[in-house]
Amino acid sequence: LGKSAKSRIRRLGFQRERALVQSLWKLGFACVRGPASGSKTRRVIYPDIVAMKEGTILVIEVKTSDRRKPIYIERRQVERLKEFARRAGGIPLIGVSFADGTGWKFVRVEDLVKTRGGNYKVDDEVLAKSLSLRDLARIADKSHKLDEYLSS
């Protein structure tokens, strides 16, 4: 890919991420977006999006899929995502944005398939087990109700 095609893809990804934050906000989440990849603050572990609702924390790393081939994710990136979620007490997720504009799917880190090289991939089988935006809201509402139940 040429430089301008790459920057166009990056811009598109950025716009989709912003749209996701707006959707999550409408579902009642408070969201924070990490700085763009490659920026200096990236030295610290930093997920793409953190979405919080009444104490439930979703830690999201964003990837784009063209639906033709699996998404490969470096082991180190998955480990960082898990470490951030472990500290926060949150749920680590891979947010998959489809290049054809058909919305988002969210893959639980434990559902990722390990490759022979020790990295991870998201294929059709993994996507079949993924969560929708509505599922994320339900998870947050459920843990909230659980808290209320436990403290009453």
Judged by CB under 8 A, the residue of 13, 16, 20, 34 near its own copies is: 34
Task: Show the CA angle centred on residue 61, arms to residues 58 and 64, nearest 5°.
Answer: 130
Specify the residue, 86 or 114, whose C-beta has the smaller distance to its own copies.
86
Residue 150 sits in the site that holds its own copies (CB under 8 A): yes
Buried b (16+ CB within 10 A) or exposed e, 109-144: bebbeeeeeebbbbeeebbeebbebeebbebbeeee
Residue 87 sits in the site that holds its own copies (CB under 8 A): yes
Specify the residue, 114 or 142, whose C-beta has the smaller distance to its own copies.
142
Q: Which residues bind its own copies (CB under 8 A)?
A: 18, 21-22, 25, 28-35, 41, 44-47, 50, 52-57, 59, 84-85, 87-90, 144, 150-151
